[in-house]
Amino acid sequence: MLITHDTRCALDTVVDLVNSAPEDEAAVDGLLDVPALADFVRSHKMSDVGVLSEFDLSAVRKVRAKFAGIFAAPDARAAAGLINELVAAAGTTPRLTDHDGYDWHVHYFAPGASVADHLAADCGMALAFFVVAGEQERLRRCEAPDCRRAFVDLSRNRSRRYCDSRTCGNRLHVAAYRARRKEATG
């Protein structure tokens, strides 16, 4: 499937959004307050976002929970239902743009959309294209035992099982290596 620059950005954004959620009660929320949300918006170069408020923060957290559900969806039909709901609630106005020197691409968020609706529309549509392409399985959660981080598997044969936090891949490599050695020597 073709993944344009803009889709790629939307994917990075939605993965970071989902993974900003605290993993358990003791962990700190990555979107703790309005300045943290402002940082998120800035680091993902989201365009046309106005002044942020507490209302935006709680709306974004709600959208985040919905995206987490999409990454946990067992199949394409379940994912499609959740994406439809999310995108419909946000409202979309597809329009072509070549802002900031990027090639022509489509923005889905409506003019003046809140940051939560912006995320729901554009990231929701980026995920929708995976369902359309028969690639919903690429929207994954890490299989490391104590990690449930979301990621998008862009490997050729959909073989990626762990998130890109280095500890997950490495730790499991080490465990597999030890197991093999034990077998060989014991």
Residues in contact with Zn ion by the rule CB under 5 A: 142, 144, 147, 149, 163, 168
- Between the two ends of the chain, the Cα-to-Cα distance in Å is 46
CB of 185 to Zn ion, least distance (A): 29
Residue closer to Zn ion, measured from CB, 58 or 170: 170
Written as six digits, the tokens of 55 are 């209302």
Identify the three-state secondary structure at position 38. helix
Instruction: Rank residues 35 and 50 by Cβ distance to Zn ion and give the closer one.
Output: 50
Question: Is the Cβ of residue 73 or residue 168 nearer to Zn ion in the bound state?
Answer: 168
Q: Is 110 helix (H, G, I), strand (E, B) or coil?
A: coil
Rounded to 10 degrees, the C-alpha dihedral 137/142/148/150 comes to: -60
Of residues 145, 150, 152, 151, the one with CA closest to residue 168: 145
Smallest separation (angstroms) from Zn ion to the CB of 139:
15
Task: Work out how close the CB of 151 gets to Zn ion at its nearest, in angstroms, rounded to a whole number.
Answer: 8
User: Which of these, 73, 72, 68, 76, lies nearest to 123 by C-alpha position?
Assistant: 68
Considering the complex, what minimum distance in angstroms separates the CB of residue 80 from Zn ion? Answer: 24
Nearer to Zn ion, 99 or 182 (CB): 99
Tell the smallest beta-carbon distance from residue 148 to Zn ion (Å).
8
From 14, 108, 128, 114, select the one nearest 64 (Cα to Cα).
Answer: 14
CB closer to Zn ion, 44 vs 61: 44
